[in-house]
Amino acid sequence: MPKSEPFLRGREILDPQQFQTFLYPQSSRLEPISDSPRSYYPPDHDTPGYPSNPRMLLGRLFLQLGTYLDYYTGQHDPSLSDCLRSLLTTTTTPVTESIPEEHRRLFPQLGIPPTWPPTCLVHGSSDTAVLVGESRYLHSLLKAANIDVVLWEVPGAEHSFDYNQPVEGVSYAKLFDDIVDFLVCHLVPST
């Protein structure tokens, strides 16, 4: 749903006019990129520490505008977000049946294929941006489908917890080592 008041950790509502280049249909003229560096304004700027790369704010902007699914799937016309939103208020048709077949693989809630890769989920237990229940639910779906999956909940941690000092009693070094071990175990061929 579109939002008009702060919704993500109390952060301000963004002005879409400042992001016109990145909004559909203008965004369809952008060249695809595979990397967009994190960059922040320096301490002497009027907004120190704020993202200076506008792409860093796009996820929040798309959530604010209620169009995240359009950008996630590439389906803007007709807007997948608008279509699903209208279903919530006008019909008893299950929302899942309204997601086009070509996009369904992007929604594990609709079914886990046997080719799903081993998955490592790490989530702060106090995340207010993406509720930890989302990772718990995905974990349960993957477990039920016999996918090798782990879920590590970081006690008391908020969204983007790795930008902050560890919560007392939590070792990020150990957590990151565990993540690397999981990835190495599943990505590096055994000899």
Task: Pull the structure tokens for residue 191.
Answer: 């000899």
> How many Cβ atoms are within 10 Å of 114's Cβ, its own excluded?
7
Mean pLDDT of the 20-27 span:
96
Whether the CB-CB separation of 49 and 41 falls below 8 Å is answered with: yes
Q: Model pTM?
A: 0.78
The residue ranges of every structural domain in the chain are: 16-107, 112-187
Picking from 126, 17, 8, the residue whose alpha carbon sits closest to that of residue 59 is 8
Report the alpha-carbon distance of residue 142 to residue 111 in Å, rounded. 9
Q: Find the range with the poorest average confidence among 85-99, 148-162, 164-178.
A: 85-99
For residues 93 and 51, the model is more confident at 51
Distance CA 51, CA 105 (A): 32
pLDDT at 106: 87
Find, among 143, 151, 153, 152, the residue nearest to 116 by Cα. 143
CA 164, 167, 173, 175 dihedral sign is: negative
Q: Supply the pLDDT for residue 182.
A: 96
Give the separation between CA 17 and CA 15, rounded to whole angstroms.
Answer: 5
CA dist., res. 84 & res. 106, Å (int): 15
Q: CB within 8 A of 173, min separation 6: which ones? A: none
